[in-house]
Amino acid sequence: MIRAYASNDFAEKALDLYYKMLNSGVRPTKYTYPFVLKACAGLRAIDDGKLIHSHVNCSDFATDMYVCTALVDFYAKCGELEMAIKVFDEMPKRDIVAWNAMISGFSLHCCLTDVIGLFLDMRRIDGLSPNLSTIVGMFPALGRAGALREGKAVHGYCTRMGFSNDLVVKTGILDVYAKSKCIIYARRVFDLDFKKNEVTWSAMIGGYVENEMIKEAGEVFFQMLVNDNVAMVTPVAIGLILMGCARFGDLSGGRCVHCYAVKAGFILDLTVQNTIISFYAKYGSLCDAFRQFSEIGLKDVISYNSLITGCVVNCRPEESFCLFHEMRSSGIRPDITTLLGVLTACSHLAALGHGSSCHGYCVVHGYAVNTSICNALMDMYTKCGKLDVAKRVFDTMHKRDIVSWNTMLFGFGIHGLGKEALSLFNSMQETGVNPDEVTLLAILSACSHSGLVDEGKQLFNSMSRGDFNVIPRIDHYNCMTDLLARAGYLDEAYDFVNKMPFEPDIRVLGTLLSACWSYKNAELGNEVSKKMQSLGETTESLVLLSNTYSAAERWEDAARIRMIQKKRGLLKTPGYSWVDV
């Protein structure tokens, strides 16, 4: 019964039956453990699996190759790679199945180099030749790495060994080529004369979507519907085509797929319902997203996450709080994606109270050790004015990534602590973390807000020389313009703008014009305004020029600009601010 449940996707029932068997005094055999461990792997039930491992150690099967292979497979699929290696190394004898369990597990969680290392060790240490399952197990790592050269090598090996006629191999190779941005090769494999299944069709659609070829993805989807392949349409295929419509702003195409899902009965599938919510939310049609959300009978965490994220992205963060409270009231436990969405909403609203409560929830439920959560907490606290708390989160992080450093640098910058930002930048380099273009944008912005002109110039010159392997973009030039203009070096800033390797945009010129207003330089402001007008008349340029004339007490010129603005119907958006009470 345990085997039947585990083999037919009833993992929870298999696990429950195992515990009932123990309570009834029946001892497991070496055939029991592999199937119950398979159930644990499917559920990602790490604690249960470790408990069963302890049962194995107390039995006569601790060294049985069949049982040990099941343990390796369980740990590897759950991402517990150190335990998988430990069990694998302690096995007295290993066969091709044990090696395949290691390779497939590492392929899911590690880089391609580690997977290739295992592949070579299998042949070198135990003298085993790879079989069909070995090759299939490598496909996730190959696709994730976009490794075209290695993918071609595996394809050639499969052809030589006679594996290339296998449907799973064909689909896997197609997927690797698509993810390696070699969509032509992927299509060649797809067009071969073989009986395709739903995974093959979905892989081709997903490949086109990933390569930003939504028209071709739609053609393949339509081909499924008209060539007696309707049975191949799955919730995955519908989700992929909707994702493509959302990415490329095809609202009409997305609505057509939605209608098809309703007519064909796929709308009853929760995965499809959640994908439709995500589609409308990403497109900006929140009314449709909320309507679809209300029609779902039994919602899950993904349903709420799709709508919460959509509210945040579409500048309606207040509604994300309501959804979060509704979610908790319904008994659904928030996950990392939920908390990231809510924390982002807190950042947008500078809602310190909500943010602090969310921080407490993260600590209590063990999410505070997650790097992405810590990054979101730092961003929230810096935007709420609590830089000391953000720094405390940064200092106590278990693991930092480049986003962690960048978030803290931006925090120091917006609070005018340029020297502290420079000190942190130096510490970052000393720890071996290489700055990216966002890092340099953050440090230049910090120098600008703190008046550190010489330090900012030095950093920009180093970047221009290639010291950081980052090519300056328009945003970096905008920061340098702001740095010079804020410090009063208007002529130098104007000269810097004119010598840029590309045409200045409205943001760069607006930064310079704003400084002309601050320093009452009407002549230069007039020149900059003409450049802005050549890019298209904007309310911003006229308002800034009018303010510049007013600051220089040239009242008639200021009134003339206001009249031009009024005649052309360019209205200024009123400013507003708020405080969380």
Is 468:462 a contact under the CB 8 Å cutoff? yes
Residues 412 and 344 in one domain: no
Q: Does residue 140 fall inside a structural domain? A: no
Residues 33 and 68 in one domain: yes
Q: Is residue 2 over pLDDT 80?
A: no
Residues 382 and 429 in one domain: no
- Give me the chain's average pLDDT, please: 87
Least Cα distance to 141 among 167, 168, 170, 180 occurs for 180
Residues 63 and 19 in one domain: yes
Residues 392 and 443 in one domain: no
Residues 425 and 370 in one domain: no
Q: Does residue 128 fall inside a structural domain? A: no
Task: Return the half-sphere exposure (C-beta side, CA atoms, 13 A cut-off) of residue 505.
Answer: 8
What pLDDT shows up at residue 274? 93
Q: Is residue 119 over pLDDT 80?
A: yes
Q: Is residue 59 over pLDDT 90?
A: no
Is 43:51 a contact under the CB 8 Å cutoff? no
The one-letter amino acid code at 10 reads F
- Give the residue-averaged pLDDT of 186-213: 91
Q: What are the structure tokens assigned to 498, written together?
A: 């004119």
Q: Is residue 13 over pLDDT 60?
A: yes
Dihedral sign from CA coordinates of 421, 426, 430, 435: positive
CA dist list (Å): 160 to 153, 157, 163, 454: 11, 5, 8, 63
Q: Does residue 373 fall inside a structural domain? A: yes
Residues 420 and 449 in one domain: yes
d(CA 33, CA 61): 9
Residues 394 and 411 in one domain: no
Residues 417 and 465 in one domain: yes
Rounded to 10 deg, the angle between the 132-145 and 148-161 helix axes is 160
Q: Does residue 522 fall inside a structural domain? A: yes
Q: Does residue 111 fall inside a structural domain? A: no
Q: Does residue 484 fall inside a structural domain? A: no
d(CA 454, CA 422): 12
Dihedral sign from CA coordinates of 254, 255, 260, 261: positive
What pLDDT shows up at residue 580? 59
| 507 Cβ contact partners less than 8 Å away, ≥ 6 residues apart | 474, 478
Per-residue model confidence as pLDDT tens digits over 263-305: 988 999 999 999 999 999 988 889 999 999 999 988 999 999 9
Q: pLDDT tier at 523 (50, 70, 90 boundaries)? A: confident
Residue that is last in its domain, among 93, 127, 142: 93
The one-letter amino acid code at 244 reads G
Dihedral sign from CA coordinates of 326, 328, 330, 336: positive
Least Cα distance to 463 among 512, 425, 418 occurs for 425
Q: Does residue 458 fall inside a structural domain? A: yes
Which CATH number covers residue 391?
1.25.40
What pLDDT shows up at residue 538? 63
- Give the residue-averaged pLDDT of 342-349: 93
Please return the burial class of 543, using the count of CB atoms within 10 Å of its CB with bins 0-12, 13-18 and 19+. middle
Q: How many domains does the chain have?
A: 4
Least Cα distance to 154 among 7, 141, 446, 474 occurs for 141
What pLDDT shows up at residue 345? 94
Q: Is residue 70 over pLDDT 80?
A: yes
Q: What percent of the chain has pLDDT over 90?
A: 49
Domain containing residue 451 = 400-472
Q: pLDDT tier at 229 (50, 70, 90 boundaries)? A: low
Q: Is residue 542 over pLDDT 70?
A: no
Residue that is last in its domain, among 93, 123, 146: 93
Per-residue model confidence as pLDDT tens digits over 418-452: 999 999 999 999 999 999 999 999 999 999 989 99
Residues 324 and 369 in one domain: yes
Q: Does residue 86 fall inside a structural domain? A: yes
DSSP for 142-206, please give it: HHHHT-HHHHHHHHHHHHHHT-TTSHHHHHHHHHHHHHTT-HHHHHHHHTSSS---HHHHHHHHH
Is 316:284 a contact under the CB 8 Å cutoff? no
What pLDDT shows up at residue 371? 94
Residues 307 and 390 in one domain: yes
DSSP for 295-309, please give it: T-SS--HHHHHHHHH
Q: What are the structure tokens assigned to 28, written together?
A: 């497991």
Q: Is residue 517 over pLDDT 80?
A: no
The one-letter amino acid code at 43 reads L
- Give the residue-averaged pLDDT of 553-562: 72
d(CA 8, CA 533): 68
Per-residue model confidence as pLDDT tens digits over 362-409: 999 999 999 999 999 999 999 999 999 999 999 999 899 999 999 999
Q: pLDDT tier at 562 (50, 70, 90 boundaries)? A: confident
Least Cα distance to 67 among 103, 37, 95, 92 occurs for 37
Residue that is last in its domain, among 398, 425, 455: 398
